[in-house]
Chain A
Amino acid sequence: MVSRPAPPYKNLLPSKAAVSTIRSLWIRLIKLVKNRFEYFLIPFSIILFIAGWKLIIRTQGFPEYILPEPEAVWDQLVVVIENGYIFEHVTYTLTEALYGFLASLLFATSLGYILGKSRALEKAASPYIVAAKSIPILGIAPLIIIWFGQGITPKAIIAFLIIFFPMLVNTIVGIRSVNEDQRELMRSYSASKWQVFIRLELPAAMPLLLAGIKIGLARSMMGAIVGEYLGGQQGLGFLVNLGSGLSETPLIFASIFTIIIITLILYGSAAILEGALLKGRRRDAV
């Protein structure tokens, strides 16, 4: 047997110490992935989504006017962001959505509080509530456009109508979640109505109120966009409409992704607010 010379790459092989360092780093990484699994899923799922998208185009051979490449959508996004075009429309839609949301917050929570406190009033109001709830919003949206014109107001009203009922119901259920023992306890302290409200009813209803706010914020965007679809010259809904009129699918996709991102930001801010206000409460109770 001929003794072979040491391979030239011998020095390039990692030392034992390095191997153990790499191993411990690897174990740490695995632990991190295991403990924070949900966060690692997000980028992973985005990559998977884009890959699937490209795969469909490759295998089916769709032309751009049917389904654009992700890159085309990205380029379109970069263009509308660079010339500031998108921000105008985002601001417009956000304004409509937030007006609708604030109006709903004001009316749905105050009406919800009254109906939550009085079963008699709730019984009296419930036929109207159910009737109003059964009206398809797409059916009356054109009417609202006819009545209130093309500006911000009709879209804010549509957003308001879409989120009013979920927020109302959440408020009612929230106020009802105060149990009789808790009321008796406050009664034994001779607490005033205001004290019962501020110390008991409001914090007890808070989880459901916040859930309503979270849903409301996200859906108010949807309401505003539905309104823009039906009339007007501004907003993200208008952009989608414009893209479809011009067969500019990248513009449609760019608008849709913007809508998704804005909605996620709204939902996320509400979730952060929720986390802060419900600090210390048991998670599964929320």
Chain B
Amino acid sequence: MNKQTMSKPIIEIQDISKEFGSGPNKVEALTNVDLKVDSGEFISLIGPSGCGKSTLLRVIGDLISPTTGSAQVKEKSVAQARTDRDYGIVFQAPVLFEWRNVRRNIELPLQVMGVPKSEWTERVDAQLELVGLQDFDSHYPWQLSGGMQQRVAIARALVFRPSILLMDEPFGALDEMTREYMNLELLNIYTRTDVTIIFVTHSIPEAVFLSTRVAVMSKRPGTISHVVPIELPHPRSFDTRETSQYFELVTEVREALREH
């Protein structure tokens, strides 16, 4: 048993269902989903398109509310957690504000949350260093590559020190090489902070490489069908991807996915 599991889980999802629309157009996106996440975990949600993994992420982040069931974060409602600014969110698109340069983009949450201006420079500098963009603070989004834009988005999500980072296919739009590099960067960030990460992806290698546990989701009903613990040692590197343990875990996740 590691130290994380001794305290109360940071996220507790119980029997969540979510329906969109009504009548003949009704779509059941999630059915009876249960999930407990401990503080400091890195959980990947993986599954076929339309299995509701993004919906589940949005329920946790209180961007949509579930039809039934309860979702709690730090023993309070998800709505309260959002008000308390417990979430940093990274979408598939970087969603940067194109009229702000990199520094001002990362400052956005600090500005909205009323963090004293005197702290901005120091905090933003720390994030720029964390994502390796120290020399790009005055660049505008359109002057950066896709990978760099996504790093700005990660810096912006972490700058207000949220306890949970919700990532919705953040590297899905990147090319394979940039993606592998970003995976490594994200693990580096993960080990240097105490943030808990929920990571939606449809890439099996990515999920296995990054996570402490992989939650495999199925379609119709959209629910978590398997949870695969990933006991690859940290720190992980490019070499990790060539170990037999890694391949076995990839196979295990793939088979869990195939059962549905």
- Determine if A281 and B140 form an interchain contact, defined as CB atoms under 8 angstroms apart: yes
Q: Which of B63, B93, B99, B109 contacts A206 (CB 8 A)?
A: B99
What does the 1/0 interface line of A195-231 toward B look like (CB < 8 Å)? Answer: 1000110011010000000000000000000000000
Given A184-B89, A199-B111: A190 touches B82 (CB 8 Å cut-off): yes
Q: How far is the CA of A203 from the CA of B95 in the complex (A)?
A: 14
- Report the number of A-B residue pairs with Cβ-Cβ less than 8 Å: 55
- The smallest beta-carbon distance between A286 and chain B, in angstroms, is 10
Say yes or no for A8: interface residue by CB 8 A criterion: no
Considering only residues 89-121 of chain B, those with a C-beta below 8 Å from chain A are 89, 91, 93, 95, 97-99, 101, 108-109, 111-113
Considering only residues 65-103 of chain B, those with a C-beta below 8 Å from chain A are 82-83, 85, 87-89, 91, 93, 95, 97-99, 101
Q: How far is the CA of A182 from the CA of B117 in the complex (A)?
A: 23
Q: How far is the CA of A190 from the CA of B82 in the complex (A)?
A: 7
- Determine if A182 and B95 form an interchain contact, defined as CB atoms under 8 angstroms apart: yes
Q: How far is the CA of A195 from the CA of B111 in the complex (A)?
A: 9
- Determine if B142 and A282 form an interchain contact, defined as CB atoms under 8 angstroms apart: yes
- Determine if B95 and A185 form an interchain contact, defined as CB atoms under 8 angstroms apart: yes
Point out the residues of chain A lying under 8 angstroms from B108, CB to CB.
Answer: 189, 199
Which among A182, A188, A203 has the greatest number of chain B C-beta atoms within 10 A? A188
Which among A181, A184, A189, A191 has the greatest number of chain B C-beta atoms within 10 A? A189
What 7 A-B pairs have minimum CB-CB distances, sorted nearest first?
A: A282-B142, A181-B95, A189-B112, A188-B89, A203-B99, A191-B112, A280-B140
Please report B residues at the A interface, Cβ cutoff 8 Å: 61, 63, 82-83, 85, 87-89, 91, 93, 95, 97-99, 101, 108-109, 111-113, 140, 142
5 CB-based A-B contacts, threshold 8 Å = A187-B63, A187-B82, A189-B108, A190-B85, A190-B113
